[in-house]
Structure 1
Amino acid sequence: MLERAHQVRLGQGVLDYVDVGSGRPILFVHGLLVNADLWREVLPPVAAAGFRCLAPDWPLGSHRRPMAPDADLTPRGVARLIADFLTELDLHDVLVVANDTGGALTQILMAEHPERLAGVVLTPSDSFECFLPPVFSPLPKLARIPGSMWPLAAMLRSEYVRGLPIGFGWVAKRKVDPEAVSSYIDPVWRNRGIRRDLRKFLRAVDRRHTLDAARRLPGFRRPVLLAWATQDRLFPLSLAHRLAALLPDARVVEIPDSYTFVPEDQPEALGKLIIGFARDEVFDLAH
């Protein structure tokens, strides 16, 4: 798994993050109940291609350090946290790569805090009225029940449950490395503060956030690559084309033989797409 050798203290709390490579910055944004280890097979080739790769553990249930008790962990609050991370590290002209719930947060970032962004890669992500997708739509209601996150974490420790649609069954086509699964599940299982953070986020999930972001996306004029899995069972390819129709400079690339977790199912293909997009369309390093 990836080594979190760096920490940054923000107003909302301390973030652990991976920082590898050198060159133009690429920021990675994972989704719900995973962490930076989602990108473990994507970061090495992208860093080797001459880019600085930064992958924080965002406070979405698999982070290792609870945020401040008063931290704003609504979707808009976490998008602001991403913007604060870029500001604190004084990063400019950043390419953001996002997956799943992280894609929804990135769309809010694009709408509300675009100043430091040079471009975006969205892999299959929550968008429009699909936040969360139907199979996970009970989670915000569940989060309103005190103490509900511990039974959720306990269920996810079961290999049988992880194979179901409510686990990893519909997000990863291939079996996820058991060490990665432990990295994803252990924090929320072991730490009450992590469960508090997850519950705060889930209680605030609502499609109004992604719908509002979508209304404002036509104002985002940087290049966007929609690297979408053709076999995704949660986020159909039509969502990618709807997003592309809104954005002034966007194109859709189809990734076969993958579900939502493209970084798990097709890391090599995704890495190549990120490198090519960064060189030719975002940072123009090929000319």
Structure 2
Amino acid sequence: MPTQIVELSAGPIEYLDSGEGPVLVFLHGAMKDGRVWREVVSGLESDYRCIRPTMPLGAHRLPMHSDADLSVAGLARLVGEFLEALDLREVTLIQNHWGAAQVMLAEGCADRIDRLVLTACEAFDNYPPGAPGRLFARLAHIPFALDIMGTALRSSWIRRRAASSDVTAVHPLPTDLADDWQRRFTDPAIRRDLAKVLRDTYTPEDKSRWAAAAADFDKPVLVIWAERDKLMPRDHGRRLADSFAQAELVEIADSGTCIPLDQPAGLTATIAKFLAG
């Protein structure tokens, strides 16, 4: 599928666009790109227009402008700008790992969103997610730490080891995707972008404000949580569903954070049922 590019204020954003019908926009997490959703999209694109932007989260191909705002709030606003640039309306926003939607609600840039599907994502005080996420953020503050990681990933052996120990997944990641994602982190400009995200100085008050914004969203929400998640606390799924006015919770067995790759068939069926309703 050919990749398309839209130029936004922060820089160029690549995206995949397939199918026709009501619009679904899929967001990925750190060290992944829009292709993480490929198996889910293959089961939905016959009935829906599926759009998958690749955000600047460490596995993107095109670096952002040097002055781009890549704070957590800045990234959320960038998603809103993406929806506006493509003139997408009545969108179902489907996210995994990254907790973009809650921040978009708090930042007032979710007016084009009609439904949410929140799958195993950051919420409440869990930014960055889990002990591994917090360790990664701390490394970003140590001079040259990310550069050392990027240099190491030039080795195919290191890339295979990194893919096999990916904390987001229970099952092995597809080799082609994992290797490509690791290779992209060898680019200093890509590491610079992710370092901006990881070094964001948001406060506990910011996280409370993001969480509170859910109460004002009165449209349908589906929360999907993974039973073997190492990054997202098990109770956050129920708490997240309870924070919205119209939300249901579904748990997926034998999956880590990356449900789109761990359990694509079950995830697709769950999303399809929600959309049909």
Q: State whether TM-score is above 0.5.
A: yes
1:125 is matched with: 121
Cα 1:197–1:86 shift into 2, 3 Å: same
* Letter aligned with residue 6 of structure 2: V
1:229 aligns with 2:226: yes
Distance in 2 between residues matched to 1:94 and 1:115, nearest whole Å? 9
Distance in 2 between residues matched to 1:172 and 1:207, nearest whole Å? 29
Query: Do the aligned partners of 2:170 and 2:228 also contact (CA within 8 Å) in 1?
Result: no
1:283 is matched with: none
- Other structure's SS at 1:137 match: helix
1:198 aligns with 2:199: no
Gaps of 5+ in 2: none
Cα 1:105–1:210 shift into 2, 3 Å: farther
* Letter aligned with residue 17 of structure 1: Y
Query: Do the aligned partners of 1:155 and 1:161 also contact (CA within 8 Å) in 2?
Result: no
The correspondence of residues 100-249 of structure 1 with structure 2, limited to 5 A, is 100-101=97-98, 104-112=99-107, 113-132=109-128, 133-155=130-152, 157-164=158-165, 168=166, 170-189=167-186, 191-204=187-200, 206=202, 208=204, 209-249=206-246
Distance in 1 between residues matched to 2:152 and 2:105, nearest whole Å? 35
TM-score of the pair, normalised by structure 2: 0.92
Distance in 1 between residues matched to 2:169 and 2:80, nearest whole Å? 29
The correspondence of residues 250-265 of structure 1 with structure 2, limited to 5 A, is 250-265=247-262
Distance in 2 between residues matched to 1:160 and 1:95, nearest whole Å? 36
1:23 is matched with: 21
Distance in 2 between residues matched to 1:83 and 1:109, nearest whole Å? 7
* Letter aligned with residue 262 of structure 1: I
The correspondence of residues 276-287 of structure 1 with structure 2, limited to 5 A, is 276-280=273-277
1:38 aligns with 2:36: yes
C-alpha offsets along residues 116-174 of structure 1, whole Å, 9 cap, x if unaligned?
A: 0011111111111111211221222211233322222345644334434xxx1x31111
Q: CA RMSD in A?
A: 1.6
Query: Do the aligned partners of 2:160 and 2:179 also contact (CA within 8 Å) in 1?
Result: no
Query: Do the aligned partners of 1:263 and 1:270 also contact (CA within 8 Å) in 2?
Result: yes
Query: Do the aligned partners of 2:163 and 2:179 also contact (CA within 8 Å) in 1?
Result: no
TM-score of the pair, normalised by structure 1: 0.89
Query: Do the aligned partners of 1:27 and 1:54 also contact (CA within 8 Å) in 2?
Result: yes
C-alpha offsets along residues 18-73 of structure 1, whole Å, 9 cap, x if unaligned?
A: 0000111100000111111111111111102x100000110001000001111100
Aligned residues: 270
Query: Do the aligned partners of 1:107 and 1:210 also contact (CA within 8 Å) in 2?
Result: no
- Other structure's SS at 1:227 match: strand
Distance in 1 between residues matched to 2:113 and 2:207, nearest whole Å? 19
Gaps of 5+ in 1: 281-287
- Other structure's SS at 2:63 match: coil
Instruction: Quote the offset at 1:4 in angstroms.
Output: 4.4
1:47 aligns with 2:42: no
Cα 1:228–1:205 shift into 2, 3 Å: farther
Cα 1:262–1:144 shift into 2, 3 Å: same
